[in-house]
Structure 1
């Protein structure tokens, strides 16, 4: 899953893919991109008419031809029990035109409040709805009960979003997300396979192998070069040998920032967790060319601490950040599973046998029990029944050591050689890039007859709220 980093904690790979280089990858058909954006002054009114939706604000900064809204949508705490109350789920909307495709952007975490288009939204010239995952950011009930934080409940949230906004955007819908957001997009399709016309999932893990000889352990024995792997193991050993000096620096930082380690239990345990995650974090965010930066035995303690901080993001294990990601670790420990990391080369240097277990990051008074059937169910669906799925992965990314392996019904896994956790369609080879863009076009065109049918029904029935005009106001 996407790592915690200092500058970008858990932002989706898809959310960072808005780059000029993809604009020319493929041209949509004339009916999809040739449009006149007439001025529409009723966009806000139309949004306000949608039941259960609150327009929080319209924000500046959107690209020309777009308007950017921050929204709140009432969602059931428990979709199986309407009496259990509601919470407001944070959404964002980048609106361009009602007759354009719409991209449903799943973050897996909090939703970014900047008007940034995902790669599929750029390629399709479409609208974009960003969905904050339940129990992250501001999308939390007043008294959160984490037992309602399940992949099915989140999928039902996404389903209700699609149902509501299809009234405004009747054309093609494509879902997307990176890392945990990509996983959420797949889970949404598992439980509501017909909500969207296709899905692009970036760097999405498929955690079904929890054996000691796991796919993750095998990955770490072959990733990169032997020299880079050995350098990381050596660095880990020297960090643990210098534990007291590194710990003193870590505790001094916590004291200076008024931070604590009550959730994990101690700065010492947090330090050990960070050191154990070094290979995972390195390969997720860097490449084999960066191996020259791995500190050697003669590196000063200050430089060793600085490299560890940069690589494993030490602040995220302290309470001020860790408390916001309790739901993340809860999901890993109850349904989604987590990775294994090599520890044999650190014999005699470790103090906490359960250090990187999800339980370490969740308060002890919160019950956790692994639903061992959840991920195999998703895997079986992807292998046997899914269609119109595109997975984009990097060959050097440990998160996809266990990749999804879909069936052959208009589904593909495309790989970026040497790519890490931040790959995009633009990073693919020319042939694979063309295949990905062609799939997006095909899925969008597939929905066009259905869009025309819905528009005809709308005119004859008069039952739906008015649609947004072809324009952005």
Structure 2
């Protein structure tokens, strides 16, 4: 009886504390300027969740040019706990990230400007820059620091990882440390380091198998296109941006090895039986023509605009396939900015400033990369002048390069760096729980 009474008292105490936290948090949020919020907590969640809409200037240098509302999702665990700011590169990420879990931290997830709910009714493309996006994050940081006064850590994956790096570069004092995952820092509109990566990754046998796969498809382009047209029609795809369906096909074929390594496909998935249908099935599974459809290109238009105008990207080396390629005479780019945006090719100035800072002042950053991920061709090379560390996970692809998959010695060093730079303990075992 006494044990049951004790359990009831503990449950009531926890409920009372949670209600107190909720009332205090909502009072604090209500007092923040230019912020509206709604609760989004799900039954059984051990934290409070709120969707915030934060008013942001379209141009942080000239707020008179207008504003928009940016979607921010807050997961509150405690006022005295550390805070993770999750810098999405695209749309809002709703799932819990590793960093908030190992630190039992509050999490502030920010949708990138001009994606999803986070943009003005009419996009003014000249204000889509990494500097403006970092200023969005700084504004959110300054607002929510009034509530969360402990350690702050930034993190993001892929383009979100790029954003983590840019944010640390432009506002180095906003966070105590940064943890970007699989974040490429391209050095040009066509970063040719990728070609070296493709020529050296894996075994010669796998590389030959990839080449033979692409070659057979290109040699059977007419028949392949006939089959793919029916697929595209059934899926109601249009390709007005790219134009010629043959170009769409060749884009998908040239993209294949990049996607193969990015996602860690098995060599056994590459057909060798010369049956065209099997080759097309594998192509569509790994680098589908849908990636080049009007709907997909529109969805990721802001990403392509930034890649073309500021951050750089990659292209396709057609030299080995010159005798089979019909629609390109030079290396095509993998960048498809909205035509109405009139993106001007990057002049490299943003990259030059960033690289200088990373080499000389880019401290307290833990980079995570995958050993076979194609994006690792453009990974940050940490200089010996800064207090940062890069972890390249052997055999890991873009989706596998995560803290939970670090080898044990790396995991120990990773946790040690977090402790050294923030004083926080990392509970790595929580990542192994289902």
TM-score, length of structure 1 as denominator length = 0.81
Q: Distance in 2 between matches of 1:293 and 1:37?
A: 53
Matched residue of 1:176: which SS? strand
Q: Residue 52 and residue 250 in structure 1: after superposition, are their counterparts in 2 closer, same or farther (change >3 A)?
A: farther
Q: Residue 84 and residue 149 in structure 1: after superposition, are their counterparts in 2 closer, same or farther (change >3 A)?
A: same
* Match status 1:260 vs 2:238: yes
* Match status 1:52 vs 2:27: no
Note the C-alpha offset of 1:59. Answer: 4.3
Note the C-alpha offset of 1:348. Answer: 2.0
1:321 maps to what in 2? 296
Q: Residue 205 and residue 190 in structure 1: after superposition, are their counterparts in 2 closer, same or farther (change >3 A)?
A: same
2:186 maps to what in 1? 207
Q: Identify the match of residue 271 of structure 1 among 224, 232, 249.
A: 249
* Match status 1:180 vs 2:155: no
Note the C-alpha offset of 1:187. Answer: 0.4
Q: Identify the match of residue 48 of structure 2 among 48, 52, 67.
A: 67
Q: Identify the match of residue 105 of structure 2 among 98, 102, 126.
A: 126
Note the C-alpha offset of 1:154. Answer: 0.7
* Match status 1:375 vs 2:357: no
Matched residue of 1:278: which SS? helix
Note the C-alpha offset of 1:339. Answer: 1.8
Q: Residue 326 and residue 210 in structure 1: after superposition, are their counterparts in 2 closer, same or farther (change >3 A)?
A: closer
Q: Residue 354 and residue 130 in structure 1: after superposition, are their counterparts in 2 closer, same or farther (change >3 A)?
A: farther
Alignment of 1:87-106 (within 5 A): 87-106=68-87
Q: Distance in 1 between matches of 2:185 and 2:409?
A: 26
Q: Distance in 2 between matches of 1:59 and 1:248?
A: 50
* Match status 1:144 vs 2:119: no
Greater shift, 98-107 or 438-447, is seen at 438-447
Q: Distance in 2 between matches of 1:209 and 1:437?
A: 34
1:10 maps to what in 2? none
Matched residue of 1:328: which SS? helix
Note the C-alpha offset of 1:326. Answer: 1.1
Q: Residue 364 and residue 83 in structure 1: after superposition, are their counterparts in 2 closer, same or farther (change >3 A)?
A: closer
Is the 1:104–1:173 Cα contact (8 Å) retained in structure 2?
A: yes
Q: Residue 37 and residue 176 in structure 1: after superposition, are their counterparts in 2 closer, same or farther (change >3 A)?
A: farther
* Match status 1:439 vs 2:417: yes
Q: Distance in 2 between matches of 1:164 and 1:346?
A: 54
Q: Distance in 1 between matches of 2:104 and 2:418?
A: 12
Note the C-alpha offset of 1:257. Answer: 2.8
RMSD: 2.1
Note the C-alpha offset of 1:301. Answer: 2.2
* Match status 1:412 vs 2:389: yes
Q: Distance in 1 between matches of 2:75 and 2:126?
A: 32
Matched residue of 2:243: which SS? coil
Is the 2:189–2:345 Cα contact (8 Å) retained in structure 1?
A: no
Note the C-alpha offset of 1:429. Answer: 1.8
Note the C-alpha offset of 1:312. Answer: 0.7
Q: Larger relative CO (CA 8 A, sep 6+): 1 or 2?
A: 1
Q: Which runs of 5+ in 2 are unaligned?
A: 1-15, 426-434
Note the C-alpha offset of 1:361. Answer: 4.5
Q: Distance in 2 between matches of 1:360 and 1:49?
A: 42
Q: Residue 355 and residue 132 in structure 1: after superposition, are their counterparts in 2 closer, same or farther (change >3 A)?
A: farther
Q: Distance in 2 between matches of 1:97 and 1:120?
A: 16
Alignment of 1:298-377 (within 5 A): 298-350=273-325, 351-353=327-329, 356-358=332-334, 360-363=336-339, 366-377=342-353
Is the 2:134–2:163 Cα contact (8 Å) retained in structure 1?
A: yes
Q: Identify the match of residue 378 of structure 2 among 402, 413, 421.
A: 402
1:455 maps to what in 2? none
Is the 1:209–1:215 Cα contact (8 Å) retained in structure 2?
A: no
TM-score, length of structure 2 as denominator length = 0.88
Is the 2:41–2:50 Cα contact (8 Å) retained in structure 1?
A: yes
Is the 1:395–1:415 Cα contact (8 Å) retained in structure 2?
A: yes
* Match status 1:222 vs 2:200: yes
Q: Which runs of 5+ in 1 are unaligned?
A: 1-35, 448-473
1:388 maps to what in 2? 364
Note the C-alpha offset of 1:364. Answer: 5.8
Aligned residues: 405
1:467 maps to what in 2? none
Q: Residue 364 and residue 270 in structure 1: after superposition, are their counterparts in 2 closer, same or farther (change >3 A)?
A: farther
Q: Distance in 2 between matches of 1:347 and 1:395?
A: 30
Greater shift, 136-145 or 400-409, is seen at 400-409
Note the C-alpha offset of 1:446. Answer: 7.8
**1:389-445 residue CA offsets vs partner (Å, 9 max, x unmatched):** 010111111112122123343200111011111201221221111111122233332
Note the C-alpha offset of 1:235. Answer: 0.6
Q: Distance in 2 between matches of 1:171 and 1:353?
A: 56
**1:174-193 residue CA offsets vs partner (Å, 9 max, x unmatched):** 00011111110110011100
